[in-house]
Each structure stands twice: as structure tokens, then as C-alpha cells.
Amino acid sequence: MNSKQKVDEDARQFASRLCSKARECDLDKWEGGKNGFISTVFVNGLRDEGAKKFIIASKEENVTIERLVELSKGYEAANPKINNVIAYVSSKGIRCQCCGRIGHSRERCRMKDAICNQCKRKGHLKYVCKEKNGKKFENKIKEIEYCEDDDDERQSMFGLEMDMVECKSNIEKCFVIKINGHQIKGKLDTGADRSITKGLGELIDVNGNGLEILGSFVANVEAQGKKAVIELRVFPKEKCLIGRDIISALRLDLNRIFYETIDEINDSTDFIVKEFIEKYPRLFNTERSDGSNLSAKLYLKPNAVPKFVPVRNHPLALRKPIKDEIQRLISANIFKPVRTSRWASPLVSVPKPDGSIRLCEQFPIPSLVEAMNKVSGGSLFAKIDLKNAFNQLHMDEESMEILTVATPEGLMAVKRLQPGVASAPAIFQHHMYEGFGNMEIISCYFDDIIVAGCSKPDLLRRLDSVFQKLDEMGLVVNAKKLEILKEQVVFLRHVLSKKGRKPNPEKIQGIVSMRRPQNQAEVHTFIGKCMHYSDYIKNATLKAKPFVHENCFQNLKKELMEITMLSHYDGSQLLVLATDASEYDLGAVLLMRDDKNKERPLGHASKTFSQSQRNWSQLDKEAAAIIFGVTKFSDYLMFKRFILQTDSKPLTYIFQEKANLPITVIKRVDHWNIILRRYQYDIEYVNTKQFAKADCLSRLPSPEVMPEDREMEEVIEKLLMIVH
């Protein structure tokens, strides 16, 4: 009853095999067996559903097995593509059960009478023995199904062959499809008749057990640029399963799916974000009103007097948005209406870029360079934005009264930390440092968190650790602003990549698109904006000096367009500080030198001498350039040995670490020697002709001016207190 037509059999061969089996069971002696029972098995066992329908539609009575063969052959003759498919499968897709080779069936194998050396049975070799290595394997299953397209223009065949091998891994082939416009990642299963999705005919699994079905729906399915309307089943616990119905309807290229790398299949960041959201639902729930597990407290000066400022009038256009925002803050458990208060501050409304309104202890805030250097060494980046970060910190009862605001809706005690509080950035940054201070290549600057990784798995592992910590802290992440697997990200108005950092092109474009200055004030404005990026421009002040010419204006804009990339700091490489001074200016450049003596810039700096400092000797100016350089890049140079380069040969003797200076040495140089005692360096002399990297900067008239002698003496006195 369970006999099926094989992939290499035509109708006549199938009928002949059934008759042979019937004779073995003595069914040919049973009246009606040949033309009744065998005919039923024949029709039921045909591979092609179209042939079955064709035979049944003929409605012939008392049909014999010979007549069924004729009808089946007639259908095959009317559909020649079926014969072509069978011929192709028979010649290339069949693995012989006698010898294990592909290209012929068992009946045509010359080894069909061979004796197996494993089980001592006739009909196969040891290579394909089912009891090989003392283990019994399941019978090989071959199944072939013909599926008609919706347009009936052609038919496609999908074959499934499960070889007699022992499974050594559970590698799942995942594939991305769109269901009603939503991207879904599902497991590709060529052995499944129907596709299912997580969440209806009765379906059974491979063991014959029934599957619980919630329902079904008809959906628009899209993959590999093809679309189809398919009925999908919904299961309560199963993952999305892509079966043969989708494969056949979309004519999916299985070779493309199975032999692409896993990274190429699963690189879609949408799915990675979705997986994180499913893993940390509380972390990404922006509708939460319970706040985080963090708290904040304000500390007042001694004898502080409470101050009450009444409500202010607001523009008519802002009154409704302000009222809506107040109601939202009350619903979010951030504001609490109160009847009286000794403290009250006026409400300040700040429009956000999206059109909404923002109602607006000491901890060191990291500098720009420090924040960026924490993610050095990464090649892929992720950026996390916290939702209303300051509002997630609870205030204590005393601080709530201090932060009371007077609004058009009455007095409101503030239950959460507000962005307008002077100490709010330091309080929040302190919590971020406690949570992530010990994590590598992760930088937190208030509500922006940058995570870097050396590879995709490394980044995702670090990102998972960060999300786990944020979830423990009770904070909320804005999933809409989450960026992952980026080769470069914008952080603190700079673009970070594995090569280094550079200014955000959008900010640069605003300066480049400025019109030509018409007066002195506009000239100062333009130069000031350019000097903000002087760290990246080698010849910035040199090109800015003759600003009476149109060429100077155009050259500066060109330099901004071709801005220099600054490298990330690498503590394993040698640092080189090169300084130089001209008649009016001084400059310094900090470089990293690798094992191949290749130097990459970490930063550029330059300043202009004051009117009195221009009267110094050239030796003093060169010394001032050295002091300026080590002070400017102190964060890099402190407690690390570096090379100090200058084109002043006398200074190589004066600024030696163990130099014995005479008593008559000028006081200024002696003070500078005291400053340099804080550093460990080897000073080198470089010929001026080979010192362009620092010489050009020393000729750049930067708007910043060197401190006068009295200011310098105050700095020296503080340093002397530290040294002694």
C-alpha cells in the first residue's frame, strides 16, 4: 500500500514492480487483486499529482493496470517537461544504494550481486552498508514533488534526498524574507511541505506527532526579488520555517542560499536590533514610567536661601505644546503637582529638532580627545542613544522641592533629574563611569554611548554586555536611534572610523558654504570657525595670515574640504612631539611612530606670540614652543616616555633631563625646566630643512595667544608646589 513511484521509474516500470510484489504476496491469485487492489496502489503511488488527476478525471470503469499505464504514458507524452526532469534526475541526481555512486539506479548497478564485507549480505558494498561501524541507519528517503506555478507556464521540480550519514552538527540555514512588508528571518527547511511562522489543516512532524496550530493567513511573501501570495500557518512556539511551498512559489535559488557565507545572509542590522529588543524588552520599552534604578541628589551651598520665581508668560504659539509636554511629564511620573513650595524656578522651553519641546556633586567630564581615544582599536562601531537620559534618574525628596518649577498649570515638583540643572551632566556622567568605566573600547559621553569591536562577533558580544548592564541599571534605550555594525559613526561632531577621526562633513559644509566676508567682523568670524578645526589642518594659520586676498579665503575652504585624518591613540607605539617657533608664532605636532618608522598625526596645535613675547630671543621662542607642546598634549605625554624634537641645537643641551644649568641662566628658562621635570623624554635635534611638519605650524597666526610672563609665573608656582 505504501509503494511509491521512484524518481528513475516511468509508469510501465512502476507497474511492473507492483505486479512483482503482488506475486510475492500471492495477490495475483486473489480475484480482483490485479485490476483492483494493484490499480489503486498504482494511482496512489504516482509521483506526479497531475497524472493522478488526469487518470481520475477519465472516469473509466473496470480499468486494468495496463490501461492505467497507457493513461499515465499519455499524460507524460502530453507534458514532455516531466520526462526531461526525470531523465535529468535519473542521470545526475540518483545515488546508487549498491555502490554509493551517483548517476545510475540500483537495478543498473554492476555491484547489485556483490556481498557486503560488513553485514555479509548480498546486494551492496561495505561503503553503503546500513550497519557500518556497528550503527544502524535509517533508510534513505527520496521524495520528489512537482509544483505548478500560478501562471501555468512551466513546472519546477524539487527533490529531497536524505543520505545514510550520521549527523554531526545542527547548523541551521537561515534566510531573510518579507511577509506583508515586514522582514522576517526564518529557518530554511526543504523537507517541510508548509511554511510556518511563530505565534492551521492538520500538520504532523517527522515523527508523526500532531502540531498545535493557532491559525493561518494569506500573506504577500517576497524574497530574492520575487513575490507570491502564500498561505502561512501560525504556531505558538515554533520559529519561522520556510518550507517547500515558499521555495516553489518564489523559485528560490537554493545554491545561492546554502553556499553564501553566514555573514552575508545575516548581516541585516534590522534583525540584530530586533533580536536585542526581544532579549531586553524592558530596556527598549520607551513607554515605561518607572524610571531607572539610579538616583540623584543636589547639594546646596551653606546658608543657601530658598528663592521663589513666579511663572512667566510664554508665546501664544508655544502654550499648547508646553501644556501637552507638562501633561506628558506628569503621566511619565517626572512631574508631580504640588500646592505650595519654598523653591520655584521659571519654566524654560527649548524647541527640539523634531518639533517637540524640552523643558529645561562634581565629576570630571571627559575631554573630546579622551572620549574618542577610548574606542581606538575598533574597526566596527555601534552607537547607543538613551531615551531622555537625565529624566531617568530619580531625585530625593529634598531635591524635588529645590527643583520645583512654576508652570501655567501650577507648581510642579520635579521627581527626576532635569537637563537644566548645573550639576546634572556631572551626576549622570558619574553613573555612566561607574557602570562602564572598566569596559574596554567603550566610550560614554552623557547619553551617547559608543561601542567598538575588532570584528562583527566581537562587537555584538560587547554590545550584548553593554545592553545587559544598561538593563541592570534600569535605563531605557531609544531603538530608533540605535546604530550598529557601522564602519564609521558620528560622535561629538566628529566622524570616527578605524583609520582615525575627522570633523563631521556636515559641520564643515556650513563653513565652506559661507559667503565672502564683507567687513572685519565677518573676517574674524570666518577665521574663528576655521581655527576651531586647526588641529586637522597643517597650514591653517599660514593660509589665514594674508586674509586680505580672495585666494586666502578660497584656500582655507579648500583645506577644510581636504581635511587631514587624525589617528586613534595606540599606547603601544612611540610618541614623537615636534615643536618649532618663528618670529610671530609657534607650533607643535604630536605623532605616533610604528615599528616601520612610519609616523601618523595625533594632533596639531599653534599659537601667536603676544606683543611683548615677540621681543624674546629666538632661543626663548623655541623653548616656549616646547613648553606649549608638552602642555597642550599633556594627556598623551604624562607618565610615558616620548621623543621631543626641535630644530634649536642649544635647547638639546639646556633641556636634557640631567642638565646642570649655570646659576646665571635666565629665570624663564629655569622655570621651563621645572615644567619639563614632570615628563620623561629624549630630546633630538632635527635640521630646519627636514622639519616642515612643525615649521609650517610655527608660521600660522592662530587667534590664541601665548600667556604673558605673570600668568606663566602663577602656573610655575603651582607646579613647584606639586614637585616639592
- Cα separations in angstroms, 307 against 365, 401, 414, 415: 29, 11, 16, 19
Q: Is the pLDDT of residue 219 over 50?
A: yes
Residues 420 and 360: their CA atoms lie apart, in Å, by 5
- For the chain, where do the domains classified as CATH 3.30.420.10 start and end? 574-723
Which pLDDT score is estimated for 267?
47
Cell of 10: 516511468
**CATH match of 295-497 with 3.30.56.10:** no
- Cα separations in angstroms, 474 against 127, 237, 335, 386, 444: 60, 28, 19, 11, 17
User: Please, what's the largest Cα pairwise distance for the chain?
Assistant: 134
Q: Is the pLDDT of residue 538 over 80?
A: no
Q: What digits encode the pLDDT tens for the residues 403-443?
A: 777 788 888 887 888 777 777 787 888 888 888 877 887 88
Q: What digits encode the pLDDT tens for the residues 277-335?
A: 888 888 888 777 666 777 676 666 777 777 777 766 666 556 677 878 888 877 777 77
- How far does CA 448 lie from the centroid of its chain? 15
- In this prediction, residues 140-168 reach a mean pLDDT of 36
Residues 595 and 607: their CA atoms lie apart, in Å, by 32
Q: What digits encode the pLDDT tens for the residues 499-515?
A: 887 777 666 665 666 66
Phi, psi angles (nearest 5°) of residue 222:
-135, 135
Q: What digits encode the pLDDT tens for the residues 54-94?
A: 777 776 777 777 778 888 877 776 665 444 444 444 444 45
Torsion of CA 545, 548, 551, 556, to 10 degrees: 40
- In this prediction, residues 512-524 reach a mean pLDDT of 71
Query: Of the candidates 76, 62, 61, which has an alpha carbon nearest to the alpha carbon of residue 11?
Result: 76
Residues 711 and 703: their CA atoms lie apart, in Å, by 18
Domain 174-267: top CATH class: mainly beta
- For the chain, where do the domains classified as CATH 3.30.70.270 start and end? 295-497
pLDDT band for position 644 (cuts 50, 70, 90): very high
How crowded is the C-beta side of 714, counted as CA atoms within 13 Å?
4
Q: Is the pLDDT of residue 102 over 50?
A: yes
Helix (H, G, I), strand (E, B) or coil at 37: helix
Cell of 196: 510556518
| Crossing angle between the packed helical segments 11-24 and 65-78, to the nearest 10 degrees | 160
Residues of the chain by 3-state class (helix, strand, coil), percent to 5: 35, 20, 40
**CATH match of 574-723 with 2.70.98.10:** no
Which pLDDT score is estimated for 512?
63
Which pLDDT score is estimated for 479?
85
Cβ partners under 8 Å of residue 454, min gap 6 = 377, 378, 379, 380
Q: What is the DSSP string of 111-174?
A: TTTPBPTTT--BSS-GGG-TTGGG---PPPEEEEEEEE-TT-S-EEEEEEEE-S---------E
Q: Is the pLDDT of residue 251 over 70?
A: yes
Comparison of pLDDT for 362 and 625, the residue scoring more = 625
Q: What digits encode the pLDDT tens for the residues 666-712?
A: 677 778 778 888 788 888 888 876 665 555 444 433 445 555 555 55
Pick from 59-63, 144-148, 362-366, 483-487: least confident: 144-148
Residues 235 and 199: their CA atoms lie apart, in Å, by 5
Most confident of 23-37, 246-260, 590-604: 590-604
Q: Is the pLDDT of residue 576 over 60?
A: yes
Q: Residue holding cell 498649570?
A: 409
- In this prediction, residues 470-490 reach a mean pLDDT of 86
Helix (H, G, I), strand (E, B) or coil at 383: strand
Cell of 554: 578660497
Query: Of the candidates 414, 418, 421, 424, which has an alpha carbon nearest to the alpha carbon of residue 334?
Result: 414
Pairing status of strand 349-351 against strand 357-359: antiparallel
Q: What digits encode the pLDDT tens for the residues 159-213?
A: 333 333 333 334 456 677 778 777 777 777 766 666 666 553 444 444 445 555 5
Query: Of the candidates 205, 201, 194, 230, which has an alpha carbon nearest to the alpha carbon of residue 215?
Result: 201
For 668-700, b where at least 16 C-beta lie within 10 A, e where not — what string?
bbebbbebbeebebebeebeeeebebbbbbbbb
- In this prediction, residues 235-249 reach a mean pLDDT of 73
Residue 214, number of CB atoms within 10 A of its CB: 12
* Average pLDDT along the chain: 71
Pairing status of strand 642-646 against strand 681-685: parallel
- In this prediction, residues 534-540 reach a mean pLDDT of 63
Residues 256 and 252: their CA atoms lie apart, in Å, by 9
- Cα separations in angstroms, 455 against 458, 487, 500, 593: 5, 11, 17, 25
Residues 83 and 12: their CA atoms lie apart, in Å, by 13
> Percentage of residues in the chain with pLDDT exceeding 70?
63
Q: Is the pLDDT of residue 337 over 50?
A: yes
Which pLDDT score is estimated for 91?
43
Q: Is the pLDDT of residue 225 over 70?
A: yes
Number of H-type helices and E-type strands within the chain: 24, 28
Helix or strand holding residue 656 (H, E):
none
Torsion of CA 318, 319, 322, 326, to 10 degrees: 180
Residue 505, number of CB atoms within 10 A of its CB: 14
Query: Of the candidates 136, 130, 140, which has an alpha carbon nearest to the alpha carbon of residue 162?
Result: 140
Q: What digits encode the pLDDT tens for the residues 580-616?
A: 888 878 888 888 888 888 888 888 787 888 888 888 8
- In this prediction, residues 24-32 reach a mean pLDDT of 64
- In this prediction, residues 337-354 reach a mean pLDDT of 67
Which pLDDT score is estimated for 524?
75
Query: Of the candidates 458, 457, 448, 467, which has an alpha carbon nearest to the alpha carbon of residue 280?
Result: 467
Residues 287 and 208: their CA atoms lie apart, in Å, by 45
What spatial distance separates the first Cα and last Cα of the chain, rounded to whole Å? Answer: 102
